[in-house]
Amino acid sequence: MNTTNAHIASVAVATPPVTIDQSEIERLIQLYYKGRLSSRSLSLIKSLHAHPSIRRRSFALERPEELVDEDLDARASRFTRWSVELSAQATSRALERAGLKKDDVAGLVVNTCTGYICPGISTYLIERLGLPQNLHVYDLVGSGCGGAIPNLEVAESLLKRNGGGPVVSVSVEICTATFQMENDLSLLLSNTLFGDGAAAAVLWTKPTGFELVASASRYVPEQREHIRYIHKKGQLHNQLSLKLPDMVRKAAAQVVADVLGPRSLKPGDVKHWALHSGGEKIINAVRDEIGLTEAQVAATRSVLAEHGNMSSPTVWFVLQELEKQGIASGEWCIMVAFGAGLSAHAFLLKKH
């Protein structure tokens, strides 16, 4: 068994081609739901979409009106099509950036929470990309917005078990596949916040890229009802509480302490922070609780502004943004994601 620490060789992302400004999204909602929603809901939708923290989002659709009264079979087909398409794009780009070919891949881990297909997305990727058919493959579901980090942990373990053969970690969410519109604050907030996207990271044992140093997770199951999907008439409905910023900030700070403390590190020792872009109030709450500067959450805010919250892939978008800004060799970086459960996850990285 190879004992060399795992490294992230490359990261790549993908978004669907339909990108819509928040003002246009608000106009379309008013157009299609004027007779279905209360005047209070329509007024709230207008004010939420006017908030400057999000400028635009991308959606896995041909036309926005597809979402209105979408047939359940059509929704399942759309999830399958776009989850595979975006995952394939991100994986291909990540392999190319790492200088690897499809035949080099020894393992694949895919996570999602916005749809379910059997067999999983991984098998479609094997077929679509022509990956080796003797791969070690895992499909993970149910981790919500924080799912990229548990995925990364599984991929790291798989890499070591396989003797160091490259492993691809893929996070993909088609949040529009869970779209619902009612006079419900959770749904109104969700329809202001979420977009679609995918990300892929290549792991290898070469001492280049980001070294995976340590990870930690925190689960607060008694707060489950504050952030989760619930089933109504066989469909997923997002359930979000207004108390989330306070809950998330505590869980995020705890998981950061869990991963830094054993290494005698403090938040001030970590220069780069890839925080999940969960929303303006959550970003502010986590920033203040951990004691970060505004500059340290700039990448998180940038991703939120350009893409909204894409659930689990979002933290990879933030890490890629940090890379563009520049991370020097030897500097610490930490990924922090949180979501359904309530759960929070952190992975400490070191740039090589």
What is the pLDDT at residue 242?
85
* Locus of tokens 């009264």: 69
142 found inside a domain = yes
Provide the pLDDT for residue 225: 85
**What's the CATH code of the domain at 193?**
3.40.47.10
Output the CA torsion 319→159→79→94 (10° steps): 50
Distance between CA atoms of residues 146 and 13, nearest Å = 17
In-domain check, residue 185: yes
Instruction: Please check whether residue 323 is in contact with residue 272, taking contact to mean a CB–CB distance below 8 angstroms.
Output: no
Structural domain of 324: 210-351
What pLDDT sits at residue 239? 85
Contact 220, 252 (CB under 8 A): no
Closest to 144 in 3D by CA, of 61, 57, 239: 239
Same domain, 51 and 152: yes
Question: Is the same domain home to 216 and 236?
Answer: yes
CA distance 152 to 102: 20
Same domain for 133 and 238, yes or no, is no
Q: Judge whether 2 lies within some domain.
A: no
Verify that 55 and 171 share a domain, yes or no: yes
The answer to whether residues 179 and 287 belong to one domain is: no
Q: Which of 175, 204, 233 is the last residue of a domain?
A: 204
Residue 1: the pLDDT is: 39
- The per-residue pLDDT for 227 is 85
C-beta atoms surrounding 221 within 10 Å: 8
- Give the number of domains in the chain: 2
Question: Along the 352 residues of the chain, how does pLDDT read in single tens digits?
Answer: 345 789 999 999 999 999 999 999 999 999 999 989 999 999 999 999 999 999 999 999 999 999 999 999 999 999 999 999 999 999 999 999 999 999 999 999 999 999 999 999 999 999 999 999 999 999 999 999 999 999 999 999 999 998 889 999 999 999 999 999 999 999 999 999 999 999 999 999 999 999 999 999 999 989 988 889 988 888 888 888 888 999 999 999 999 999 999 999 999 999 999 999 999 999 999 999 999 999 999 999 999 999 999 999 999 999 999 999 999 999 999 999 999 989 999 999 999 9
Q: Which of 188, 204, 220 is the last residue of a domain?
A: 204
Question: Are both 17 and 115 inside the same structural domain?
Answer: yes
Cβ atoms of residues 169 and 109 within 8 Å: yes
Residues 131, 244, single domain; the answer is no
Residue 1 is assigned to a structural domain of this protein: no
187 lies in the same domain as 227: no
Query: Same domain for 115 and 244?
Result: no
What's the chain's Rg over C-alpha atoms?
19
Residues 185 and 89 in one domain: yes
Q: Percent of the chain at pLDDT above 70?
A: 99
Residues 112 and 254 both lie in one domain:
no
Kindly state whether residue 283 falls inside one of the protein's structural domains: yes
Question: Of 185, 204, 223, which one is at a domain's C-terminal end?
Answer: 204
Asked if residue 110 belongs to a domain, the reply is: yes
189 part of a folded domain: yes
Residue 83 corresponds to which tokens in the numbers above?
């989850």
Q: Does 200 lie in the same domain as 107?
A: yes
Looking at the domain assignment, is residue 40 inside a domain? yes
